[in-house]
Structure 1
């Protein structure tokens, strides 16, 4: 077996003319492919691939540069490998496509030709290799007997149509791949992929929620093609066609008030020639013609700012989050509606809500994450919706190197003693976040995901690697939410540049929906210095910054110094249009000073300072833009 180091993911590749991966014939204009195995060691980080044999066959791996798999087959026996079940992708979109194919690069170094090669998938690996339960034969592809001519190193390719897969169910989530040959041989494999290709491509170039107003698409085709038909098939099955000229293989279409059926699935497709050949029809784009009731509430990143949706009244405008931390059942007993009312009364628009993925804040038994989502997180999200507030989901747990069970109250006395164990990174952190994102991927009242509270005592490049892995894992299930990341040194502004300088503007490509956060407690760092660090990073990389945690450390400073620090940092936020979350609410009462018995260390003190700033700075909840009257809809 061999190990990888980041979350397994389906790899979607788009190839234009001349792109690799075409088994034979002219190159397609567009290729959608998912790699199932490649010699690149980091293709499927975070998972484990186990070599398996069947009925006398064996499997091993060798490394001559890129890793290759060697399978020794026998009469009726073969070999392959299996993957961690929940990490292997579903192959539905390739199975259902007439152009879907399985492609394999292989060779037989002992010159014993296989005669033919059969590939089989399996969904339940518990019986693979078991003498009691043979490998399921009805998940096999037809035997491939035709191969491309070998290259100088003997590598050949074969491909098999996926549409011919014999399967007992509509969906195929494979956990194992096995190879069988007609003649016993040694088969060496270096790449497997599933793909579908087209002679014409189509991409959406507008917000899906705005497609009902202006549908904007672009695409490419063969240079010799002069015309392309853009076809909308509405939710009732009616087709409408708009023809566009093609120049040098490129075309674009703006369809004003397109005929989309509200509340139903519509498809948009580009067709060249007569479309009888499936390759001459682009992969359809699905659109819902209805603006959801809350579509106008979605926020996203644009340059240095968070902006409102084009569907909001006034269109895209800068949105400044201002809010507080609500540490439910840790700093303050739960009172969800009371907290939300307090926020509205104090001119706030956002709640930063800590939750946990492995252990509760005080340690003890492991969390049942599904129950934690249902009983701890979701009631707060629903309360925020009732009161018209956004929520930042803040993963507030601490994983402290070898001491992965560290808790917040002891974190500052614990230094990292080494990198996190892989189980912590993948199973508890990344996979946990993926489950949370799956729950809230369609919830616009969730402003964003703050991936980790405060990294510390790791090298900047290690922190960057951890954050990037988690971000990419979440993007497999949620491409829409803002993701919030910090720096390596307790999330202080001074650590942003060291952590993110190489990749700040591109770490979330192509979504580019990341906000960089800091946590500050002046006068530990003076407001002017925090301003210098934050604005320099923001302006250099053209990315938004926010302070998702700050407060008044009056337990360590004089009253005068603390009040000056609070006033100074809030003035800086206002001057620079930087959103903020004050830490943390401890009771539903105002605390203008620190002498009235509030919890010493965590308190939302100085309510004579921050609410007036919130009233001036905080953006209002976006309102829905009025939809054009029916007489504004245009005929095409």
Structure 2
């Protein structure tokens, strides 16, 4: 009887050890993601992570000023002008080659060699729909392209921020979102539904990929020159909350990034600044002095919320 009890005790202890190992492995796997602790991003090893990054602009959301064009400043207008000159077949082929060659693995390797530890990848929502965009109408084209760059970054030890630069309906109302001159996203339930569904698909696809640092939900929403910008600003936080909830249904690992209104500069629009436990904010600034005073209002918001502030 005593021998039987000893054997049973050994089996129970062995089971406890095995369960403990599995639990630790599970925790370790989850800790492979960059996390948020107060105002800092933290590595899986528990060290503060300071982002030193660069954007892969113009690749998956072409913009006129990056081509040095004068009269066409968004993808839609660039595409139309090119097709009027040489026809749609040639232009569609051009865009496909452009996507394949504008950013390569050698570029990612070079970025890492310069000391960068992260990249931000601006993309157009149409890469995840059947809508015609850059010579394709494949709703999985975005994954084909992003999978490649994420794999290259993984090999080089570089983190990736995915940035929806052009959202359904347009979030800015200017050339950068390839819109029709107004941020219709905030007045269109259909566009908002598509916006949330695309982010949910993206989050589900990359839920277990630690190379992805986070999701930059909207680039520079609501330009400053609209007379009703204050009204539009009221729609921003509820939409962020809605899309964050959609993402959390499939992905609890990644950081969500909320940008301020008016070119990512106005953070007074947020009434629930700690809506999620894995979130940070993103600011932008242009043509300013490289002094702390120039960004003090961003730092003040960081102090107020005790959350990271990312200048993307």
Task: Assess same fold via TM > 0.5.
Answer: yes
Query: What is the CA–CA distance in structure 1 between the aligned matches of 2:208 and 2:151, rounded to whole Å?
Result: 14
Q: What is the aligned partner in structure 1 of residue 52 from structure 2? A: 322
Q: What is the aligned partner in structure 2 of residue 299 from structure 1? A: 34
Q: What is the aligned partner in structure 1 of residue 141 from structure 2? A: 371
- The counterpart of 1:513, out of the listed 273, 278, 296, is 278
Q: Which has the higher strand share?
A: 1
Within 5 Å, which residues of 2 pair with 1:293-442? 297-309=32-44, 312=45, 316-327=46-57, 328=59, 330=62, 333-358=101-126, 364-365=132-133, 367-373=137-143, 375-400=144-169, 408=176, 414-416=181-183, 419-426=186-193, 428-442=194-208
Is residue 308 of structure 2 the alignment partner of residue 544 of structure 1? Answer: yes
Q: Which runs of 5+ in 1 are unaligned?
A: 1-237, 243-256, 267-286, 549-636
Deviation at 1:355, TM superposition (A): 2.0
Distance 1:400 1:490, change over 3 A: farther
Q: Deviations over 1:50-70 (max 9, x none)?
A: xxxxxxxxxxxxxxxxxxxxx
- Determine helix, strand or coil for the equivalent of 2:262: coil
Within 5 Å, which residues of 2 pair with 1:246-325? 258-260=17-19, 287=23, 289=25, 297-309=32-44, 312=45, 316-325=46-55
Distance 1:420 1:377, change over 3 A: farther
- The counterpart of 1:453, out of the listed 213, 219, 237, is 219
Is residue 247 of structure 2 the alignment partner of residue 474 of structure 1? Answer: yes
Distance 1:402 1:304, change over 3 A: closer
Preserved CA contact (<8 Å) 1:398 1:408: no
Within 5 Å, which residues of 2 pair with 1:49-68? none
Deviation at 1:535, TM superposition (A): 0.9
Q: Which has the higher helix share?
A: 2
Deviation at 1:519, TM superposition (A): 1.5
Q: What is the aligned partner in structure 2 of residue 190 from structure 1? A: none
Larger radius of gyration: 1
Q: Deviations over 1:299-325 (max 9, x none)?
A: 11011111122xx2xxx2211111100
- Determine helix, strand or coil for the equivalent of 1:419: helix
Query: What is the CA–CA distance in structure 2 between the aligned matches of 1:542 and 1:343, rounded to whole Å?
Result: 31
Q: What is the aligned partner in structure 1 of residue 269 from structure 2? A: 499
- Determine helix, strand or coil for the equivalent of 1:504: coil
Q: What is the aligned partner in structure 1 of residue 226 from structure 2? A: none
Distance 1:473 1:239, change over 3 A: farther
Q: Deviations over 1:170-216 (max 9, x none)?
A: xxxxxxxxxxxxxxxxxxxxxxxxxxxxxxxxxxxxxxxxxxxxxxx
Distance 1:367 1:258, change over 3 A: farther
Q: Which runs of 5+ in 2 are unaligned?
A: 1-10, 67-97, 224-228
Distance 1:522 1:367, change over 3 A: farther
Deviation at 1:408, TM superposition (A): 2.3
Preserved CA contact (<8 Å) 1:401 1:418: yes
Distance 1:417 1:546, change over 3 A: closer
Higher relative contact order (CA 8 A, sep 6+): 2
Query: What is the CA–CA distance in structure 2 between the aligned matches of 1:376 and 1:537, rounded to whole Å?
Result: 35
Distance 1:537 1:336, change over 3 A: same
Query: What is the CA–CA distance in structure 2 between the aligned matches of 1:538 and 1:403, rounded to whole Å?
Result: 24
Preserved CA contact (<8 Å) 1:305 1:319: yes
- The counterpart of 1:532, out of the listed 296, 303, 307, is 296
Query: What is the CA–CA distance in structure 2 between the aligned matches of 1:532 and 1:403, rounded to whole Å?
Result: 24
Distance 1:407 1:503, change over 3 A: same
Is residue 262 of structure 2 the alignment partner of residue 489 of structure 1? Answer: yes
Query: What is the CA–CA distance in structure 1 between the aligned matches of 2:48 and 2:178, rounded to whole Å?
Result: 38
Distance 1:477 1:334, change over 3 A: same
